[in-house]
Structure 1
Amino acid sequence: MRKNILITGASSGLGRGMAIEFAKLGCNLALCARRTDRLEALKAELTAAHPGIHVAIRALDVNDYDAVFAVFRAFREELGTLDRVIVNAGLGKGRPVGTGYFHANRQTAETNFVAALAQCEAAVEIFREQNAGHLVTISSMSAMRGMPKNLTTYAATKAGLAALSEGIRADLLQTPIKVTTLFPGYIRSEINEKVQKTPFMVDTETGCRALVRAIEREPVKACVPWWPWTLIGLLMRHLPLSMVARMG
């Protein structure tokens, strides 16, 4: 069992939900996010419910790349090892390309890809030193194809993250270090709380429980929840773009 788990973007949404599920399994947690008040509250909640675990928290803006490396190393020193790092922090805002919102699309691209690269670099650097570890990246079902409207840049960043993860995996095939890419479907969180009447949406607890079950299996890739997203992913990759565009 991988005991010491680092999760970025842990103050809300999927990051917070996964932290709760891993705490139930008796894992020690290294939790980081920008909102330290929420981290403090989460730490108090988890240690009260599971007094046998160690919960470390630190403030981190993943777009501060030097801080990413410093925080990851500080967590490793505090816990002794980092057994698993979950690259979860991300941004969901965006607008159709060419409509005057480059600033929003650029922020999404920088947070979801460049900052994710920094997290992967920092994690794998530690894993190489340890000759052990499990890197988990949280992509999206939207990464399966180019998506229209507000999803265009977001989907592209998540596709880029999936490709980055696969490249890292290829580089580490002959080592004990594992790499998993997860493609979540519609899981309710702060990033989509205003989206209504979405088919196949599951609540945060159900979705995070499915994510943690998938992570524990350590697959190369997984759509989460498995049903119906594995089938939808297959269809998305093969349907005409005109049909995929209606999903946006």
Structure 2
Amino acid sequence: MTKTILITGASGGLGAEMARQFAALGHDLALCARRTDRLERLRSDLLADHPGRRVEVRALDVNDDDQVFEVFRGFRDDLGRIDRVVVNAGLGKGAPIGTGGFAANRQTAMTNFVAALAQCEAAMEIFRAQDAGHLVMVSSMSAVRGMPKAMTTYAATKAGVAHLAEGLRAELHGTPIRVTVLYPGYIASEMNDGVAAAENKLMVSTEKGVRAMVAAIEKERESAFVPTLPWAPLSVLLKHAPLPLFKRLI
């Protein structure tokens, strides 16, 4: 069944690859991001590969609250309805707290949590009016437990958005509105181009990682660590390991 899927942060990385894979599955797309030149190229590629699909694009800075609502409502008006919203836009900046990196940490907190809240508000406004929809929150493996150093703020925001989605799921249980939280591990993307070599051992390609994400989304899983191996078992270890072992693991 064809769905209309809105993806934020769709101009590159995981968002662009999700668009490619959803189009291949026969879905129509509403794609938004700041880099409209990339969005237009992606739209052209998708329509060339899948001429039967509908792909709409709009500029969006997720930190502009008013624009978030305007763009989501505009897509809804253009396409008639929005069946699924993937809250994907995010930022990976950060510095150890107390080391002079407040500006970077604040920017990450505002983009990854406050802007995600605005996206949830705009999506849920549409879904409540439709009495149907599927909200997908892209969290992170770092949400499993507080992370040290430059990851501290990022991990906290990803835990925050996961709880935001889980709270909605509890409220909406038994209704036609579904909520999925994804916890990706190391998936190659623009955000993690500079990860350490040790972390690269667990890195999978963008295509493979997003395939696991899309499979979980299509099944409307409540939550999923993706790819399942090694991240589902590692999530248990990371959450419950004694602190000395945890510090060695990360």
Following the alignment from structure 1 to structure 2, what is the Cα–Cα distance between the partners of residues 54 and 2?
A: 11
Partner residue in 1 for 2:8: 8
Query: Is there any run of 5+ residues in structure 2 with no aligned partner, and where?
Result: none
Given the superposition, is the C-alpha separation of residues 218 and 2 from structure 1 closer, same or farther in structure 2, using an over 3 Å criterion?
farther
- 1:88-129 CA distances to partner (integer Å, 9 max, x unpaired)? 000001010000010000000000000000000100110000
TM-score by length of 2: 0.97
Structure 1 residues 196, 236: closer, same or farther in 2, change over 3 A? closer
The residue aligned with 1:88 is 88
Q: 2:211: which partner in 1? A: 209
Identity in percent: 65
Match of 1:238 in 2: 240
Give the aligned partner of residue 27 of structure 1. 27
Structure 1 runs (4+) greater than 3 angstroms displaced:
none
Q: CA RMSD in A?
A: 0.9
Cα distance in 2, alignment partners of residues 128 and 180 from structure 1: 16
TM-score w.r.t. structure 1 length? 0.98
Q: Which residue of 2 aligns with 1:68?
A: 68
Deviation for aligned residue 1:149: 1.0
8 Å contact from structure 1 (residues 147, 244) kept in 2: no
What count of residue pairs does the alignment treat as equivalent?
A: 248
Structure 1 residue ranges without an equivalent (≥5): none
Deviates more, 1:233-242 or 1:144-153: 233-242
CA deviation vs aligned residue, 1:114-168 (integer Å, no higher than 9, x gap)? 0000000100110000000000000000000000111000000000011111001
Which range moves more in the overlay, 88-97 or 168-177? 168-177
Whole-angstrom distance in 2 between the partners of 1:244 and 1:29: 41
Partner letter of residue 139 of structure 1? S
